[in-house]
Each structure stands twice: as structure tokens, then as C-alpha cells.
A and B are shown apart, each in its own frame.
Chain A
Amino acid sequence: MSEVKIEKLCKSYGPVEVLKDIDLTVEDGSFVVLVGPSGCGKSTLLRSIAGLEPVNSGNMTIGGRQVNDLPPAQREIAMVFQSYALYPHMDVYNNMAFGLKFAKTPKAEIDARVNEAARILQLDPLLKRRPRELSGGQRQRVAIGRAIVRKPQVFLFDEPLSNLDAALRINTRVEIAKLHKMLKATIVYVTHDQVEAMTLADKIVVMNKGRVEQAGKPLDLYYKPNNLFVAGFIGSPAMNFLPAVAKKSGVLELSDGQELKVKLPSACKPGDKVTLGCRPEHMTLGGTGMLKLNGMIDLIERLGESGFAHVRLPSGQSLVIEVRGDPGFRSGDAVNTSLEAKHLHLFDTLGHRIY
């Protein structure tokens, strides 16, 4: 069992609180991804789990063992750094074997483990090379290999793909997903790339300003974001937000006077200010749905099989709408946009989800 449990974790640098009351459970064998904008504390949280950053208060267990005061080596974790942090003066074999040598592992055992890791990661022909003779992707694999040979309870990845080029990033992402399946390892993974988060994670933890905004399965976060921040962070391009005021039952008035007939929850009283959210992929240009908004096309970005239309409402607000195939419109055209009622989100003035 290698469950990671974090309770009420707080950390501050002087007066600056970087982690506030973090509660998080990483189930045994699961792949948990921490996402958030830069400076949100996700890397700090990962380094706290690793034991590289001291914490101010809170409790942390790995595999049922309290690790608060243990140094990194005794936490049975392995970390893959963003910069890979390979030892430049050692060849690939020694990079992987280095930690085991200091743990007084028998030579034959070290050999077996390194060769096994090299086989899994296809590093066999590179064992005698120095890190500087390797490509970015190969260095990345060595860094992962160094983690595997330690047979840790938990793998910690700190933005491992951000130094790779786009094509390699997709390949390596798939490899990491396969590796997770094969090793059945518990993984905590930090990234700011939400595609990585959505594709890899069993559970995504969205962080902002040192807090956990929401934790859950990727699609739960996508369909039912708890608050404005998560709604805006998950999904690309981001969800459209429109400020609105609730009128008498079932009507929302936008700032430019356009009205939408929406089934409002009982908590929403006439006069309440709310924010309406709708994803680009849940809107259509010139559709025939019940919920329509008038606007003008500013620009259409074509990506091939799909594209994004930027539509300006009379209020001056801009919406991004996904279009498939040829939309039959050009920039400058006046259009109706229709919204799918079942994919609308409503948030109150504090940003909490109300519908």
C-alpha cells in the first residue's frame, strides 16, 4: 500500500503563505495531477511531499507511515525533476545506480534493476553515454529510469515534459501513461499544461493561490466545475463567461439587455448578480437552439477540421465558439449564437457554482 495522505498542510515563506490548509489523498496506484497557474504552490506541494521543503504545520503519511520529519531518502519517494537533474559527470548506468550504491544494495541487484529499467525505457544502447551526449527525450527517460530503479512507493514528477518539444512531449506523455499502467505505481505529477492533466490523471487537483480549488476526476472537473476558477482553468479555449442579472423566474438579463430563458435554481432570487458560463464547444453559430444571443463575428481561426469563431456581443464582450467544418460565415457577419441549455453553468458573485 502506498497511499499518500496530506492533512491540513500549511507552509509559508516569512509572511507569505504559499500553501494553506491543503487536504489531499492520493490513493494507492493512482495517478494524481496537480495543476494550476504558475505560483499557485503546486511545485511547493510536490517538494513538500518529497521532503525537500520543510512545512509549517500539518500531517503527511506515505503508505500509512508518518513522514513529516523524515529526510527525502527515507520517505521512499523518487522524484523526476523538470531539469532532469542528471549527474553530468556520470554515465547513464551510474546515474541510475548512484542512489542504490549508497543504499549498499548488492552489486548483482543493482545490475538487475538498472538493466530492467533500461529495458523498459529502451535505454540499453545508451548505458555508457554521458548525459551531455543524450537528446532531451533520452535524458528524460534516464531521469525516469533513475526513479524506477529505486522502487519507490510514490513517484513525484515536477513538470517533466516542459523542456521537450511539442512532438516529443506527446510521445513521452503516452509513454508515461503506459508506464503507469505497467508499474501500477502511485504517481503525483505537477504540470501547468491541462492537456497533460486531462489525459494522464485519475484525479486532477486544481490549485490556486496556495489552495486546492477542486479535486476530482478529469471529466467531473470539466462538466461540473465547483467555481469560476476551475471552470476557467480546465478546458481550452477557456469557458466563456457573461455577467448577468437574474430577473423574474427563469430569465437572465445580460449587460447589453439581451435576455436568456434559463431554468434558474431556487437559490437564485430576482436581482441577484450571477456569471453565466458556457464552453466554446457547447455553442453553435446560427443554430436553432432555444437560447440565442446576437453578435457579430470578429474573426474566425481555422485549425483544419474545426475552428474558433470570435463573436462580439453588443455589450462589447467577446465569445469564443467552436465551429466544425465550414461555418458559412465570414468576419463582419451578424450572427445568432445558440447555447446548449444542459451545458450552461451559473456562478454566484463569490464565484461558487450555483447551477
Chain B
Amino acid sequence: MRKPASAIAVHGILILYTALALFPILLVIMNSFKARKAIFGAPLALPTPSTFSLIGYDKVFGDSSIVSYYLNSITVTGGTIFFTLLFGAMAAWALTEYKFRWNTLLALFLAVGIMVPIRLGSVSIIQLIVELNLINTLTALIFVYTAQNLPLSIFILSEFMAQIPKDLREAGRCDGLSEYNIFFYIVLPLIRPAMATVAVFTMIPVWNDLWFPLLLAPTGGKQTITLGIQQFLGQYITDWNAVLSALSTAIIPVLILYVIFSRQLIRGLTSGAVK
């Protein structure tokens, strides 16, 4: 049993941290429901009947392009998660299970990918995407994000795969499974918690990213929501109602994805713990 004083201290620190982390989000959501004057007049006040206004949400959803920006973001994030998990798991499996000549070197090469920020290569990435004729497409973004996330996901997934007992894959081989079937029917189900972890790690930076959408898909209706919101930020006038409403709604999809994955994550952990 922990001493009450230290328990209070620990909880105090955690509550403080939670408040600190949630405060900006709360501020955004609160103010998204207020009229423009009230936002500036009393930014920390809750919306009251007199200051309550949905004008920001009206503007955001009245603008059909914003809705399509949401869809763009969802497509890019979903596609990135899918390809990162698929190729990451396959590469991790190859690196842990099969012994071939350049195995260690390849693993090291991928580890370097974790250390070097992909943004350093922005100029050559733009050239590459232009050459491929993929500028202003979501495909370009999915490509780049998948490349960006692969090294870390391979690293995490191979750690988990190394823990799968060798006997299991050999039992699969004796049962007549092909190598692909061993991967899809034995390995993948067993590393679901790790996949959920990787999915969460992948999803949030991709959803929030402004850099690559700005470089690779700035126009042509292929903007992601983070970029799309910028149209409300002007040099002289910023439509704060719209910006705050758009930001508030932008939280929802990523929250839903997170709930899905984190439940998976917890289920995976507990099912492994109880023998």
C-alpha cells in the first residue's frame, strides 16, 4: 500500500498535467460555440445563452470544400495506417524470421530511417513527386507518410515478432501452411496489440501534419483538413469562428480511430497477461 501523502502528490501531478494538456483543447471547443465578439471579449468564459452561436459550424459545413478536406484527411490517414501496417509487418517478419545475406545491414539501414527526419529530404521528395506526376494527389501524401512511418513500425513490430515462439511457426509449417499463410493467420493475429500501438503512433502525426500537404498537395481540392483550415486565416482578417469550429470537428475522427485501436491494445495486453 502506498503512503497517502505520496499518492496525493502523484495524483496531484497527474491532474495538473492533464489539465495543462486538455486546457487548449477545451478552449478551442468552448470558443467554437461563441459569437465573434464573445471570443475576443472573454476568451476564458463558457458560452452563455447570450453569447452562444453556431455561426462557425454553419460556415464550415456550408463550405462543401471543407467536407471534402475532411475526407481527404481520412483517406490519407487511413491509407497510411493500412500500408504502414501491411508493409511494416511484412518487412519486420522477413527481418526476424529469415536469415539472408544482407539481413543485418538492411535492419541497420532502416534504423537510420528512424534517426534522420524525412523533412530533410523535402526538396528531393518534391522533385520525385513532380517526376511521377503525382503533385496535388492524395497518393503522393500516402506514399511519403508510409515511407516516413515504416522504419519505426518495422522496429517495433520486429521486437514483438521475435517473441513469437519458433515452435508455433514450425507447427504451422507442419500443418501445411504456406509462408504467406503463416504470416497472415498465425503471426498477424498474435501481434495485434503491437499493430494497434503502431497505428496510434502513425495516425496522430499524419493527421496533424501541415508540411507535406503544403508541399505536395496544396491546391486542386486535395488539401487535407489542417491545410484547408488555413483558408480562414487571412493576412488581415481571421475568421476565428470557422477556424475554431473546424479544429473542434477535426478532433472527432482521430478520436474515434484512437478509441478503436486503444481498445484493441488493452484487450491484447490483458489476454496475454492472463495465462
Contact = CB atoms under 8 A, between A and B. Distances in A.
A87 B170 CA distance: 11
Interface string B182-206: 0001100110000000000000000
B174 A102 contact: no
Interface in B151-200: 165, 167-168, 170-171, 173-177, 181, 185-186, 189-190
Nearest to A152: B174
Please classify the interface of chain B as helix (H, G, I), strand (E, B), loop, or mixed, using the class held by over half of its residues. Answer: helix
Contact of A102 (B167, B175, B190, B271): B175
A102 B176 contact: yes
Contacts of A102: 175-177, 181
A85 B171 contact: yes
A316 B171 CA distance: 51
A73 B176 contact: yes
A21 to B, nearest CB: 26
Given A52-B170, A83-B167, A132-B275, A88 B190 contact: yes
A87 B169 CA distance: 9
Interface string B49-77: 00000000000000000000000000000
A51 B22 CA distance: 58
Contact of B176 (A85, A86, A87, A103): A103
Contacts of B181: 102
A228 B241 CA distance: 92
A23 B171 CA distance: 26
Contact of A82 (B167, B185, B275): B167
B168 A87 contact: yes
A248 interface: no
A77 B175 CA distance: 9
A233 B129 CA distance: 70
A243 interface: no
Contacts of B176: 72-74, 99, 102-103
A270 interface: no
Nearest to A156: B174
B179 to A, nearest CB: 10
Contact of B174 (A78, A84, A132): A78
Interface residues of A, number: 26
A52 B174 CA distance: 8
B274 interface: yes
B173 A81 contact: no
A332 interface: no
Contacts of A81: 167, 170-171
Contacts of A50: 170, 174
Contacts of B189: 89
A79 B168 CA distance: 11
B125 to A, nearest CB: 39
Given A87-B186, A89-B190, A102-B181, A73 B168 contact: no
Interface in A87-119: 87-89, 98-99, 102-103
Interface string A44-79: 000000111000000000000000000111100111
Contact of A79 (B165, B171, B185, B275): B171
Nearest to A71: B173
Contacts of A103: 176
Contacts of A150: 175
A54 to B, nearest CB: 12
Given A71-B173, A98-B175, A103-B176, A85 B274 contact: no
A83 B173 contact: no
Contacts of A98: 175, 185
Contact of B168 (A71, A74, A85): A85
Given A81-B167, A85-B165, A87-B168, A73 B174 contact: yes
Contacts of A88: 190
Given A87-B168, A102-B181, A132-B275, A79 B186 contact: no
A244 B189 CA distance: 64
Given A89-B190, A102-B181, A73 B165 contact: no
A78 B176 CA distance: 10
Which of B170, B189, B275 has the most chain A CB atoms closer than 10 A to its own CB? Answer: B170
Nearest to A98: B175
Interface of A: 50-52, 71-74, 77-79, 81-89, 98-99, 102-103, 132, 146, 150
Closest CB pairs A-B (n = 10): A99-B175, A73-B176, A85-B167, A85-B171, A81-B167, A89-B189, A72-B174, A72-B173, A79-B174, A83-B167
26 contacts: A51-B173, A72-B170, A72-B174, A73-B175, A73-B176, A73-B177, A74-B176, A77-B174, A79-B170, A79-B174, A81-B167, A81-B170, A81-B171, A83-B167, A86-B171, A87-B171, A88-B190, A98-B175, A99-B175, A102-B177, A103-B176, A132-B271, A132-B274, A132-B275, A146-B175, A150-B175
Given A81-B170, A98-B185, A102-B175, 17 more contacts: A51-B173, A52-B173, A72-B170, A72-B174, A72-B176, A73-B174, A73-B176, A74-B176, A83-B165, A87-B168, A87-B186, A89-B189, A89-B190, A99-B177, A132-B275, A146-B171, A150-B175
